[in-house]
Amino acid sequence: MDTIYITGHRNPDTDSIVSAMAYAALKNALGSREYKAARLGQISDETQIVLDRFGFQPPQLISDLRTQVRDLDYDTPPTLSAAATISRGWQLMQSNKISAIPVANEDGTLYGMLSAGDVANYDMISVRNPMVQSLPVYNLLSVLEGKILNEGGEMVDEISGEVTVALPAGRENLMFSDRESIVICGDQPDMIRRALELRVNCVIVCQAEVSQELLDLDTDTCVVSTPYDAYRAVRLICHALPISRICKSKDLVCFHLNDYIDDVQEAVLETRFRSYPILDEEERVVGTLSRYHLLRPRRKRVVLMDHNEKAQSVVGLDQAEILEIVDHHRLADIETKNPIYVRNEPVGSTTTIVAGMYQEKGLMPTAKMAGLMAAAIVSDTVMFKSPTCTQRDIDVAHRMARIANVSLDELGQAIFSATCGDDKSVDAMLRTDYKEFHIAGHDLAVSQITCMDSDRLLGRKEEFLEVMRTIRKNKHLDTVVLMITDVLLEGTQLLYVGDEETIRQAFNIKSEDANAAFLPKIMSRKKQVIPMLSALWG
């Protein structure tokens, strides 16, 4: 069953993480077991405290949704040992209607690739040069369905020599003449005796019996009987060699399950192989890939939570299939190839929307999940002081707190005290809740730190501005803004670099400080900062 990832935005906050986890739990509880919560970045200290409080592990980290080899309907033909016979390889290719088959070492790692062309090429060579070297007797007996007739033959493990068909009596001068021969004959006692006297490597008797007198001769020649005629025996002997003798084992082009299709297509265009082996993380063979597999690759499937903007979503989203969007932000630039389910509501937290979906499906979240959801709503609404907060957020948060038997005030204190410890670097704090936007041709980033003591953070103002200038330069942004939102002051200390005049105009800043100002009652990036800039630039 293919996984459907439910993922929030990059630099995920608590609401983004929890809403994805809660929605995945809801979907799976209703019988759809393929849903899995995921995250696009590191967990913040605030979110980790919440997860630890209610006994949850962070969701799986994913960094890219581009189509990979593992997403293709690649072939999974049998994988043969390098010691298996050419005959066995050919039979498998014929029965599976494929033109190439992977060859593996004993531990399952790749040895080479055997193609129908390799077998045909070897057949043509063997017609002109019917010489075999170090042919395992086990292989010979297998392809000829034969058995060893003499005691001396039981001591032979390998045979070598030119394959010779014994001619009728009277033409001895055209027959074998030395030990380095593999003699094929029928009901020809004289021929068999001569071969044994010359101590040739092997005598293969086709569709005939050998007298005990001949078998009792003192010789180390291996005598083998086969039910096949001489013509088939000659061809089968050549096919008794191990695959390792003829398969391609050097300059192989192979791919791994995690390789991206973009890279695979380039490699395939530069080569001309029919099939390419596919390896897993431990270099073991798991299948083969052909050109036609690249024509219609399966896309990864994803549900977007708490965002609907490309710049905030996962890399490779254009190659994924978006199934749903659940969000509480403005509609942005996400496009889909097909109609999808979109749920966008003007509330303070995406988790509030998910809680409503639990109610609609007649399913109550567990106490642990309810506590997690209550914490997410408290975090995203800044203890219900954000202008985005609605009465519905407050009601849902209290309901979840009752189910979990927790105090919302206690949760808020724990959440907002975790944000700005003295041990944290300025860069880490700034990137914890960082989002980029593209508005009317302007590229900007807005980061938000919510705390209960903004004075401590303002003491590191110059450090923040230095990091903000570096981000602006490296990412070619017009403006970088940092909101230090103080829950107790019910306002935001605003730091900004870049298009400073626009920022001052947008928020009517009269302060002489060119890079900082306190904005009372400004608590929400989504509802108060971005709309003001959009109106000015729009």
Which segment of 48-57, 126-135, 303-312 scores lowest on mean pLDDT? Answer: 126-135
Say yes or no to pLDDT of 364 above 90: yes
Give tens-digit pLDDT for 41-89. 999 888 999 999 999 999 999 999 999 999 999 999 999 999 999 999 9
Selection from 20, 114, 99 nearest residue 351 by Cα = 20
> What was the pLDDT predicted at 538?
65
The two tokens of residue 26 are 């809801």
Give tens-digit pLDDT for 334-350. 989 899 999 999 999 99
Provide mean pLDDT across the span 310-327. Answer: 93
Q: What is the largest CA-CA distance in the chain?
A: 120
Spell out the domains of the chain, with CATH numbers in brackets: 4-61+300-417 (3.90.1640.10), 426-537 (3.10.310.20)
Taking the CA atoms of residue 421, residue 422, residue 425 and residue 426 in that order, the dihedral angle to the nearest 10 degrees is 80
Provide mean pLDDT across the span 17-34. Answer: 94
Q: What is the three-class DSSP state of 290?
A: coil
In order of 20, 33, 52, 361, the CA distances from 24 in angstroms are: 6, 9, 19, 14
pTM for the model: 0.69
Say yes or no to pLDDT of 173 above 50: no
Name the DSSP letter for residue 406. -
The two tokens of residue 12 are 């995920």
> What was the pLDDT predicted at 174?
45
> What was the pLDDT predicted at 154?
86
Q: 270: how many CB neighbours lie within 10 A of its CB?
A: 8
Provide mean pLDDT across the span 116-127. Answer: 89
CA distance 45 to 424: 10
CA distance 79 to 286: 8
Selection from 269, 289, 268 nearest residue 279 by Cα = 289
The count of C-alpha atoms lying within 13 angstroms of the C-alpha of 72, restricted to the half-sphere facing its C-beta, is 27
Which strands form 479-486's sheet, in the order they lie side by side? 434-439, 442-451, 479-486, 491-498, 516-520
> What was the pLDDT predicted at 176?
59
Give tens-digit pLDDT for 483-521. 999 988 889 999 999 988 889 888 988 877 779 999 999
Give tens-digit pLDDT for 192-203. 898 888 889 999
Q: 32 and 331 in contact (C-beta within 8 Å)? A: no
Give tens-digit pLDDT for 233-278. 998 998 999 999 999 999 999 999 999 999 999 999 988 888 999 9
Write down the mean pLDDT value for the chain: 90
- pLDDT band at 149; cut points 50, 70, 90: very high
- pLDDT band at 428; cut points 50, 70, 90: confident
13: burial class by Cβ within 10 Å (0-12, 13-18, 19+)?
buried
The two tokens of residue 190 are 């004289």
Helix (H) / strand (E) containing 522? none
Label residue 362 left, alpha or beta by phi (over 0 means left) and psi (-120 to 50 means alpha).
left
